[in-house]
Structure formats: C-alpha cells, structure tokens
Amino acid sequence: MTTVRESEIMKEKYVLVTGGIGLIGNAVRRKLEDRGTRVIAIDRIAGAIDGRDVLECDVTDVHGLHALARRFDISHIVHCGAYSGPMVSPDHPVQMVQVNIGGAANIGELARIVGNVRVVFAGTATAYGKTPHGPVHENTVMVPDSMYGASKAAAEHVLNAYKLQFGVDTVSLRIGWVYGPRRSTSCLIRQMLLDGLAGRTTHIPFGPDFPQQYMHIDDAADAMIAALDRPDLPQQAYNVTGGSWLSFGEIANIVREVLPQARIEFGQGDDPGDMRQEKFDISAAALDLDYRPRVDLRDGMLSYLDWLEHQETDR
C-alpha cells in the first residue's frame, strides 16, 4: 500500500542529478536545493556529501534508472555521471565507453520514455581536441585525441540524436578545465597550491607558455543551472569557460600572488598530456543563457586555497 508520504512525494517534480558525489554534480545539486528545487542525486555508490544523501544508481543500470522514474516525478535531468577526465582510468577505455556513451544513451532513453523531460549534459571542451585557430566556436569540428574526449563527444552526439529523432529536449555544455573547492583529482592549480602549502617546489615538465582555460566550480554549476532553466535553446551545444586564456606562466604568477611561498619551476615545450587549444568563444552562452563567469582566477584560487588548508587541518 502506498503511504501518504510516498503519495505526496510522487506528486512533486524533481530534478535528477547524475554523478551526485562528483565535483560538478554535487555543486549543481547544492545550488538547486539551496534555491528550493527538489533534487534526486544519484551516483554509482550510495553515500552523503555535505550532509546530503546520494542514492545508489549507476548510469549504466537502465533498470535502476527507470525504477527511480516510477518512484519520482522527474521533470529535468542534469547528467554529470561519467568518467570525469582523461586522467581517470586511462587504461580502461572500454569501461569509459560503457559509462560515458552507454550512460548517455540510458539517460536519453529515460527522458524519451518519461516524456517532457529537459536534459542538460556536462560535456567537455576536451572533445574538440587540438584546435587550429581561435576563437573556437561551437561549430568547430570536434577531433578528440583521447578516449575520454571521444567518449564525451560521442555522448553529446547520442543525446543530440535523441533530440532530432525523438524530440527529447537536450542541450550540452562544453565545459572548460574546472578547479576549486572539492576538486581532489589531478589538477595543476591544486598541485601548485598543495606544494606551496607543504614547502615543496612544483616541477612542471613543460614550458610556461602552454595555455589553459580554467573555470571555477561555481561558474560551471551556474552555467549548468542556467541551461536547465531555459527551454527551447537555439543551439545544441554551448562553450562555457572562466573567460580567460592564460599561459601556465601567468597562472603560476597568480599562484605566487595568493601564496607567496610557492616555488614553481618549468621545463620546455608543450604539455605532453594535453592538447594545445585556442581561446573558446563563450558569446553564445552569454546571449542565450545569460552566462558570464563571476569568479576570476585569483579569487577562485583563494577559495580553493582556503578549502585545501582546511582539508589539511582536518587530517
């Protein structure tokens, strides 16, 4: 028998956030709930983050996803559940394909079956691969040079095909390199700050002129929510970055400003583990999503440094 409480739950509209324990998924979930939006957050392992429960449901578990849809009235999906970067499990490309592409297909199918569901996909600028010139617009052909980039590009195409063939309301954001509080995976800003706190020298094996386009986690979450709130967008995909295109030498100088004891040494040449990309054009996101980065790199580093210091203190 359905209890009164279950009946009340089923009448409410919910946003389903996949990858709820991950960096972007958790940030989106917190911002949505803080404004009063009801959220169902899922991840492959149940748990809690920031005191908020996350349900166990892998995006490759199609039956689990549809069971959730029978229990909750889902009106929107924020799809962040995936391998989160080329540095995560690079020696398991088949698993990356199963999760990133298969998971996207499961989300598209879930939205098709439920009906009238908005899907916002956390894509990546890595999907472009090396870019020959700038500024880089969304119509630039994607030629990814990693299995991660390829899997995210393919996932974006899968969701767009659900839109074109079945009318599912999907949009993808091609997100820049995200840093900030709660990022614990490989990140050069994180490494420079941690080394500075520990009194170590950061040895960077490539040259200081290699460019990067970082964005603070708050800006990434705001962009996802802006896309969630605006139906009938004229584009299938949008570039979103922190608005800057700086060399690592310039980034290192900002690290030294916020952490004067930081010692950073560079090698020569390009980063062998990354591709050289020109500046991404984010004017379409500004026009259609009213997205404008709010956190400049210096302020973002200060917030990240504060979080890292508390993490070290708590150990």
- For residue range 28-65, what is the model confidence (pLDDT) as tens digits? 999 999 999 999 999 999 999 989 999 999 999 999 99
The stretch 160-181 carries a mean pLDDT of 97
pLDDT over threshold 90, residue 129 = yes
- Give strand pairing partners of 17: 41, 78
Confidence of residue 10 (pLDDT cuts 50, 70, 90): very low
Residue 42 CA to residue 61 CA, distance in Å, equals 12
- For residue range 133-147, what is the model confidence (pLDDT) as tens digits? 889 999 999 999 999
The stretch 232-253 carries a mean pLDDT of 97
Domain at 4-181+214-242+278-294, CATH homologous superfamily = NAD(P)-binding Rossmann-like Domain (3.40.50.720)
Looking at residue 3, its pLDDT comes to: 40
Residue predicted with more confidence, 270 or 181: 181
Looking at residue 91, its pLDDT comes to: 74
Looking at residue 118, its pLDDT comes to: 96
The stretch 294-312 carries a mean pLDDT of 94
The pTM is what?
Answer: 0.92
Residue with tokens 């969630």: 228
